[in-house]
């Protein structure tokens, strides 16, 4: 295959994968959405790919119109037709007459496994340069925290979200734009779960933005201990039965 044909097919594949990543991120962000304009909970969106045979530009110029290259495109984005999963939450505002709330069938669970306190300087020195770091704003106290996603955990989660078997990736390579978009969605969910945990004191967790290690140096004092804690979370993505 010539260069133009390869560029055409790889470009179509990247565009299709980008759209699928956006749909996956939307599914994750709406995992707890129980009310939509159309009624009922948010339904998982599914991306349908389709092969698309298009003439190769370089061969067309050469007069070989009978040759074609097989590209890929998104044919449709359709809602999951299966019924939602029901959870017994009688106090929920969207509960039915029997106390059950309808939720998205795909569940994203995060639970705190352990935590330890370090100085902020020691924390930053313990993480690799290409780690995924992001700020999290805490209100109404008006302070910032830094969240880190371990790439050894992040890559298998991303592979699973994109339809793979949950395999890890090369920990030394940079994060791609699509991976960063999915990681941001994961961090937003973690912020939401943290807010639920601390709701007794009305602490609000708001996702800020991704930070490099150099940028993170200016988030708080290097000897700060109160907010410079390392938390390890266990994340499970499964289909509700």
Give residue 61's region: left, alpha or beta (phi > 0; psi -120 to 50). alpha
Say if residues 183 and 158 touch (Cβ distance below 8 Å): yes
Which position has the higher pLDDT, 133 or 61? 133
Q: Could you tell me which CATH number the domain at 107-239 has?
A: 3.40.1550.10
Which position has the higher pLDDT, 130 or 221? 221
Residue 103's nearest CA partner among 22, 47, 36 is 36
Domain boundaries in the chain? 3-103, 107-239
- How many angstroms separate the CA atoms of 240 and 111, rounded? 17
Radius of gyration of the chain (CA): 22
pLDDT the model gives residue 215: 85
pLDDT tens sequence across 44-78: 888 888 877 665 554 455 444 555 556 777 888 88
pLDDT the model gives residue 239: 53
- How many angstroms separate the CA atoms of 135 and 12, rounded? 34
- How many angstroms separate the CA atoms of 201 and 232, rounded? 23
Instruction: Annotate 186-213 with DSSP letters as a single string.
Output: HHHHHHHHHHHHTGGGT-EEEEEEEE-H
């Amino acid at each position: 295959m010539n260069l133009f044909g390869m560029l055409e097919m790889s470009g179509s594949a990247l565009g299709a994968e980008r759209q699928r990543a956006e749909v996956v991120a939307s599914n994750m962000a709406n995992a707890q959405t129980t009310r939509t304009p159309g009624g009922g909970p948010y339904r998982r969106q599914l991306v349908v790919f389709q092969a698309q045979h298009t003439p190769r530009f370089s061969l067309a110029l050469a007069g070989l119109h009978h040759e074609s290259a097989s590209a890929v495109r998104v044919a449709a984005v359709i809602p999951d037709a299966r019924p939602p999963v029901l959870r017994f939450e009688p106090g929920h505002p969207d509960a039915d007459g029997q106390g059950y709330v309808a939720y998205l069938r795909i569940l994203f669970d995060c639970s705190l496994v352990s935590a330890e306190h370090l100085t902020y300087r020691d924390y930053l020195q313990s993480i690799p340069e290409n780690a995924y770091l992001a700020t999290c704003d805490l209100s109404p106290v008006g302070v910032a925290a830094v969240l880190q996603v371990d790439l050894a955990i992040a890559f298998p989660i991303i592979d699973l979200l994109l339809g793979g078997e949950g395999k890890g990736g090369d920990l030394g390579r940079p994060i791609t734009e699509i991976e960063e978009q999915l990681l941001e969605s994961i961090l937003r969910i973690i912020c939401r779960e943290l807010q639920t945990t601390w709701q007794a004191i009305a602490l609000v967790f708001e996702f800020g933005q991704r930070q490099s290690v150099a940028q993170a140096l200016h988030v708080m004092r290097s000897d700060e201990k109160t907010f410079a804690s390392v938390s390890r979370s266990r994340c499970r993505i499964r289909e509700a039965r």
